[in-house]
């Protein structure tokens, strides 16, 4: 009888020990499952919010966006006007200005923005200031050189049209410079743009002086 009770208690002890081991194993497995679920959830949040940005700096983000623009618009005049923290964690809000055919009588000028690396190199158009010899600004203000160049051609100034017709649209170079105040032949002009047309294969050129609001041709010269 004594052996019977001894065996009984041994079996009971073994059962309890196995139960404890089983419970411990279950708790460990539950802990591992919780960790895995938490890791998956964290990964989802990171992807949703544009990732960690892979530690990307403002300078690196700017350089990458600029490089992509240069590949997409070879020969264009491209500048980054703003780099600031994006509304999307880990990303940067980047604003770029692009001027196509910037020495032609009708350059195309637009501004685009990026949320990088959240949306990669997918841009959003902010403004299309000039295209196809059209100025898309109301009211017109000559706030940049591409707009001033386009306006000088759009105003149908006789000397400018004759010059372009003589040498060909693709054979002239146009440059616009803003002046707070400048003197031309003894006369002072304030708040103006001087737009110069030249033909590289010749020594001839013409210019036009435009008011900042773009509504007046204050002076111009004939071919010389």
pLDDT tens digits, 141-189: 999 999 999 999 999 999 999 999 999 999 999 999 999 999 988 899 9
What is the average per-residue pLDDT within 43-66?
Answer: 70
Strands 108-116 and 92-100 turn out to be: antiparallel
Residue whose C-alpha is closest to residue 119's, from 96, 94, 99, 83: 94
Global pTM reads 0.72
Residue whose C-alpha is closest to residue 146's, from 167, 127, 168, 123: 127
194 within 8 A of 125, measured Cβ to Cβ: no
CATH fold of the domain at 54-132: Nuclear Transport Factor 2; Chain: A, (3.10.450)
């Amino acid at each position: 009888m004594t052996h019977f009770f001894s065996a009984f208690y041994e079996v009971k002890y073994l059962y309890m020990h196995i139960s404890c081991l089983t419970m411990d194993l279950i708790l460990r497995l539950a802990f591992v499952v919780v960790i895995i679920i938490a890791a998956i959830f964290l990964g989802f949040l990171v992807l949703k919010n544009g990732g960690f940005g892979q530690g990307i700096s403002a300078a690196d983000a700017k350089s990458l966006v600029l490089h992509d623009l240069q590949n997409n618009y070879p020969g264009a005049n491209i500048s980054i006007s703003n780099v600031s923290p994006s509304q999307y964690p880990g990303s940067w809000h980047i604003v770029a200005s692009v001027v196509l055919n910037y020495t032609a009588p009708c350059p195309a000028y637009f501004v685009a923005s990026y949320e990088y690396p959240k949306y990669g190199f997918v841009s959003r158009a902010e403004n299309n200031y000039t295209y196809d010899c059209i100025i898309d600004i109301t009211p017109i203000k000559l706030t940049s050189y591409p707009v001033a160049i386009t306006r000088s051609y759009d105003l149908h100034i006789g000397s400018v049209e004759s010059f372009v017709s003589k040498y060909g649209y693709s054979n002239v170079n146009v440059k616009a410079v803003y002046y707070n105040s400048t003197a031309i032949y003894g006369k002072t002009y304030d708040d103006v743009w001087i737009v110069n047309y030249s033909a590289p294969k010749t020594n001839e050129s013409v210019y036009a002086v435009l008011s900042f609001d773009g509504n007046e041709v204050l002076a111009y010269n004939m071919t010389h």
